[in-house]
Structure 1
Amino acid sequence: MSQKFIPLSVPNLKGKELEYVAHAVETEWVSTGGPYVNDFEMKVAEYAHCKGAVSCQNGTSGLHIGLEVCGVTKDDEVIVPILTFIAAVNPVKYIGAEPVFMDCDDSLTMDVAKLRAFCENECSFDDGKLTNNATKKHVKALLVVHIFGNMADMEGIIDIAEKYNLRVIEDATEAIGTYYLNGKYKDKHAGTIGDVGIYSFNGNKIITTGGGGMIVSNNEELLKRAKYLTTQAKSDELYYTHDEIGYNYRMTNLQAALGLAQLEQLEGFIQTKKENYEFYKSEIDKIPGLRILEFKDNIRSNYWFYALYIDESYSINRDQVIQYLASKKVQSRPIWGLISDQKPYEGSQIFKIEKAKEYLEHVVNIPCSSNLIREDAEYVVECLKQPQVV
């Protein structure tokens, strides 16, 4: 009997998804109207302990709106991570602003020490504005990404943002369910500490609506404006009065029905992912040349993705590991290519990029679905114990 395929990250749809979606179809509320959208927004806000949530079509559209409501314009710059999925940075370009790329630390999130050094040494701060000395442009905001369910150092980031009058947009698209266990922001969820935060419900995320996303905030004015912009900037719904350019970004009732059923299961998904992470870590860390990157000990992570670090003492390299696992019907992937190396970002400003290059060369993601069974995790480990060049 041949070994079954073990995917990297797939949806787990074993709750009330069919029931809720069928009800949306039966009642014929399938578009952006319908009760499930409002209910899903309310339940996400309750779960994340924030004042409100505004649904959107995906995490990317949420980031676009997040930048807009924070006042970022084409004349501004936004400090962004260099090691993340490109969808986190593209919305900066949608607005016409320019990114400045920052290195990561060992948690793969933004390096706060380098961020502080950039603001102190490469910029000037006068009359409440941080100006990039090299470009003479206003540095308006920070776009922080919580990578793989880890959490950036928000205490350090908010301190810097307050000192230099920077808006903070949290890309928490990979981190719904992650929160601080102690410190200044104890019990604060990823996405709820900056000005706005964004969650994603793409098919590979810990919970999914197929596509879909959510903008969250504790600032009611920003939430109101986000709702306005995501629904075509309609000032008078009856007479179709529009005072600004808006966007058709609202989530559909079908998506929200799926999302509600998924949200009901989120804590169970996190528990399963934690157990599989701990199994992987205990077993893989015994294999010479391999280790699983850790999540910070001051957070409760959602354990979204597991990062396998391959050092030079292992018998095969990153690309050979991916090829070998594929030959064993195990899906894996490299970490994202550095965004500044992508064609649309050639010539963008970078600041002391070191760690990101190291992790790019050494990290592979391995199967992490919330429905990954122990037998399959054991198979992945056994494969890694006997690597081969294929």
Structure 2
Amino acid sequence: MEQKLIDLVRDIYATKKFIPLHAPSFTGNEKVYLNETIDSTFVSSVGKFVDQFEQEIAGYTCTGRAVATVNGTAALHTALYLADVKPGDLVLTQALTFVATCNALHHLGAKPVFIDIEHGSFSLCPVAAQNWLAENAKLNEQGLCIHNASGLAIKAILPMHTFGHPAQLDELLAVAQRWNLCLIEDAAESLGSWYKGKHTGTIGRFAALSFNGNKVITTGGGGMLLCREDSDAKRAKHVTTTAKLPHPYEFYHDEPGFNYRMPNLNAALGCAQLEQIGPILDSKRRIAERYQAFFTDTDFRFVQEPDYSRSNYWLNAVYCPSASARDRLLKVTNQQGVMTRPVWQLMHRLPMFANELCGDLSQSELAEAHLVNLPSSAIV
């Protein structure tokens, strides 16, 4: 199995050299726009490409407004801040996620509550979230969701669209509304993924995108905050630009703010990349189809998009029949220069989150022991 998979990957990428997990592709106007930015001297957070990139991402995702940030963690931190998540507050999220999801909570002094995933999307399970809330929380007289044992406020539900596959957003939104919680989507991995005809990141009140070098499109480093409401977007733009009030020459800041704006250089790269997103997504889907065909009639299950969605297949993944099969696949492929990776270590196993509240995490633990990510770079 392992050697046949290695041969398939080398055939897909037509190389005998080292094959990374996910590398960017620069085949369009990247150099043209970057040179234009340098020639203009506007290389920092002021420049035409910042505004253009925000407008184009808002248009592509069909959201209300988009606010560019220095990275996805900054976008998520801003979303939580605008959702009134404060020190000591609780936020329901998944243990199977990249650490940035929980880091954003930590930066606010908030605390995660780790809820299990469901095996369709490998994202936050709405049934598990509802069950945990029913057993552990109540709405007080003011309608605030309160954790029974600690008396702490629960403010939000934060699913992450794992590997780009959309979570069960309608069901999660229903849970959020039932418990007066803000639904915030960690859509860092899901640009180009659609949930029942709507782009991910447009169902919750806020969403965070990432344009790190390993994402579907990249700005080198960068993120984007998606806002449904114009009032939220205006406030997001304000607080991410050090909360400075407009004035021809005076410096006046009316609240503590963040220096989170995306530089024009990065936005220029993003504009060029976004022009190529159609071919990039088409390529990633063709690669996913080859993996799916390869694993058909084997003991390995290729992770497909949920029936309700059209996924970007950001990172292809296979569910191995056993933990030992996972370990062997990882060892043999990496020894032969084909990069594969296990899923992230579950957050509650990390020292800084080891004492946080958890629900039953049996599905997350199975995924941790069985999942392997496969090379997924687009060929454009």
Q: Indicate the TM-score class for this superposition, using the shorter chain for normalisation.
A: over 0.9
2: CA distance, partners of 1:109 / 1:285: 23
2:289 maps to which of 278, 281, 302: 278
Q: Provide the residue aligned with 2:187 in structure 1.
A: 172
TM-superposed deviation, 1:109: 0.4
Give, as a single letter, the amino acid of the residue that structure 2 aligns with 1:344.
M
Which structure 2 residues correspond to residues 139-158 of structure 1 after superposition, within 5 A?
A: 139-158=154-173
Partner in structure 1 of residue 3 of structure 2? none
Of 112, 124, 132 in structure 2, the residue corresponding to residue 110 of structure 1 is 124
Alpha-carbon contact 1:236-1:242 (below 8 Å) kept: no
Q: Which residue of 1 aligns with 2:216?
A: 206
Give 1:85's aligned amino acid. Answer: F
Give TM-score, length-normalised by structure 2. 0.93
Alpha-carbon RMSD across the aligned residues, in angstroms, is 1.3
What is the CA–CA distance in structure 1 between the aligned matches of 2:41 and 2:209, rounded to whole Å? 27
Q: How do 1:371-386 residues align onto structure 2 when only pairs under 5 Å count?
A: 371=379
- Give the C-alpha shift of residue 283 in structure 1: 1.1
Determine the structure 1 residue equivalent to 2:8.
Answer: none
1:39 corresponds to which of 20, 39, 52: 52
What secondary structure sits across from 1:19 in the alignment? helix
Distance in 2 separating the partners of 1:59 and 1:209: 11
Shift of 1:28: 1.1
Is the counterpart of residue 94 in structure 1 residue 102 in structure 2? no
Structure 2 residue runs without a partner (length 5+): 1-14
- Aligned pair 1:252/2:263, yes or no? yes
Secondary structure of 2:124's match? Answer: coil
Residue 344 of structure 1 corresponds to which residue in structure 2? Answer: 352
Distance 1:317 1:135 in 2: 42
Structure 2 counterparts to residues 29-108 of structure 1, below 5 A: 29-106=42-119, 107-108=121-122
Deviations 1:142-174 (A, max 9, x none): 111111111111111111111111011110000
Which of 224, 232, 245 in structure 1 is aligned with 2:242?
232
Cα distance in 2 between the residues matched to 1:18 and 1:235: 34
Count of residues in Structure 1 that have an aligned counterpart in Structure 2: 363
Off by >3 Å, runs of 4+ in structure 1: none
Any idea what the Cα deviations from partners look like across 1:46-76, whole Å, max 9, x if unmatched? 0011111100000000000000011111131
SS at match of 2:199: coil
Determine whether 1:120 maps to 2:130. Answer: no
Equivalent-residue separation in structure 1 for 2:150 and 2:245 (angstroms)? 38
Over residues 252-290 of structure 1, what are the superposed CA-to-partner deviations in whole Å (9 max), with x where a residue is unaligned?
A: 11100000011111121111111110111011223x331
Per the alignment, residue 268 of structure 1 pairs with 279
Percent identity between the two aligned chains? 36
1:197 alignment partner in structure 2: 207
Residue identity opposite 2:160 in structure 1: V
The answer to whether the Cα contact below 8 Å between 1:205 and 1:304 also exists between their aligned partners in 2 is: yes
Asked whether the 8 Å contact 1:322–1:364 carries over to 2, the reply is yes
Matched residue type, 2:304:
E
Deviation at 1:211, TM superposition (A): 0.5
1:4 counterpart = 2:14: no
2:90 partner SS: strand
Gaps of 5+ in 1: 182-186, 373-390
Distance 2:112 2:95 in 1: 10
Whole-angstrom CA distance in 1 between matches of 2:240 and 2:57:
17
Partner of 1:376 in structure 2?
none
1:6, CA displacement in angstroms? Answer: 1.1
Whole-angstrom CA distance in 2 between matches of 1:110 and 1:349: 15
CA-to-partner distance for each residue in 1:329-379, whole Å, 9 max, x for gaps? 10011000000110101210000111000010011101000128xxxxxxx
1:207 touches 1:263 (CA, 8 Å); kept in 2? yes
For 2:328 and 2:293, locate their aligned partners in 1 and report how far apart those are by CA, in whole Å: 23
Q: Normalised by the size of structure 1, how large is the TM-score?
A: 0.91
Displacement of 1:3: 2.4
Residues 83-115 of structure 1 show CA distances to partners (whole Å, capped at 9, x for unaligned) of: 000101111111111111111110210011110
3-state SS, counterpart of residue 156 of structure 1: helix
Deviation of 1:327 (Å)? 1.7
Secondary structure of 2:85's counterpart equals coil
Look up the SS of the partner of 1:225 in the other structure. Answer: helix
Q: Residue 19 of structure 1: which of 15, 27, 32 is its match?
A: 32
